[in-house]
Amino acid sequence: MPDLTSAADPSLSDRIAQAFPSLPPQLQAAARFVLDHPDDVALLSMREQARRAGVPPVTMTRLARQLGFADYASFRDLQATALRRPSHTAEFSHRAGQLQRQKAQSSDGALAAQIGWAMADHIAGSHDEAGTAELIAAATLIEKARKVYFLGLRSCHAVAFHAQYVHGLFRDNGVLLDGAGDTGFDALRHAGTGDVLVVISVEPYTTAAVERAAYAARLGMAVVAITDSRVSPVAALAQASILVPTDTPSFFHAITPAFAAAETLIALIAARSGEQALNAIRNAEHQLDAFSTYWSRRPQRRKPKS
């Protein structure tokens, strides 16, 4: 089962994540490959790893020595028990070509099943012990927040919208950073210490999402990130990072695990919120019923004639 949260040796992955911001760009590329593909580190040659990471082979050795190892062979030994997860570095068009070639060698049903199993594995993997601990930490931050701002752009917008919508059924302190005419971010002018930004961003990271998360951190806001890597640009800003795999047999990165993480997060907050949440949800139900929001088989009451 894929596990994005750690390499084979958790202490090593922690060391890499801590050292990452100070590493030169080529070493960062190598470090990210190691964190995201611990199984490949154990199974592939150093040259092949370097090729996939997009760096010269000597960079892998430099990374090992930077982390205190005598050579790269010693470094690889710590990855021997890692599980395999596929690379997610190709462009969309290239991956679409791969998808079509794969389909030519199998049936529609086999491809659909493969995608479904991948999503199930990703969701289960992101809810392991480490993932659950981050979800709980994030729920604690949000529960205590004065205001909670939700941010997701492009493919991640739907996750942010859904999280804020469900959160709004039992709390009135949530704000979706989305508005006509690019005015959605204006709401942050009222934010600061005591507030939380929940940002959803996965590779390829939207520039505006990263910049707004950095701005929120400068304001003194706590940042909760739902993201795909321990060294993603939003994870580096976050007090709690909920890691969600995005690899999929399809050509576009998977968003389903991010949805699952967001739904789990909001459910944890609701479960902690006691009678206040129950009353708020009842009020929401009354309003929805008053406007006949949801279709019902029950016959509608006719208004009496005046």
Q: In this structure, what token pair is assigned to residue 106?
A: 């199998």
Q: What percent of the chain has pLDDT over 70?
A: 83
Higher pLDDT: 303 or 250? It is 250
Which phi and psi angles does 201 have, rounded to 5°?
-155, 125
Higher pLDDT: 291 or 300? It is 291
Q: In this structure, what token pair is assigned to residue 180?
A: 């006509």
> Which DSSP string do the residues of 254-274 spell out, in sequence order?
--HHHHHHHHHHHHHHHHHSH
Choose among 27, 51, 49: nearest CA to 38. 49
The structure's pTM equals 0.67
CA atoms of 99 and 68, how far apart (whole Å): 41
* Domains parsed from the chain with CATH numbers: 10-77 (1.10.10.10), 126-290 (3.40.50.10490)
pLDDT at 90 over 50: no
pLDDT at 190 over 80: yes
Sort 132 into a burial class: Cβ within 10 Å, 0-12 / 13-18 / 19+.
middle
CA atoms of 30 and 57, how far apart (whole Å): 10
Three-state secondary structure call for residue 175: strand
Give me the mean pLDDT over the 89-104 stretch: 61
Do residues 21 and 236 lie in contact, with contact meaning Cβ atoms separated by under 8 Å? yes
Sequence-ordered list of residues with C-beta below 8 angstroms from that of 41, at least 6 positions apart, any chain: 7, 33, 34, 49, 75, 76, 79, 82
CA atoms of 176 and 185, how far apart (whole Å): 9
Supply the mean pLDDT for the chain. Answer: 83
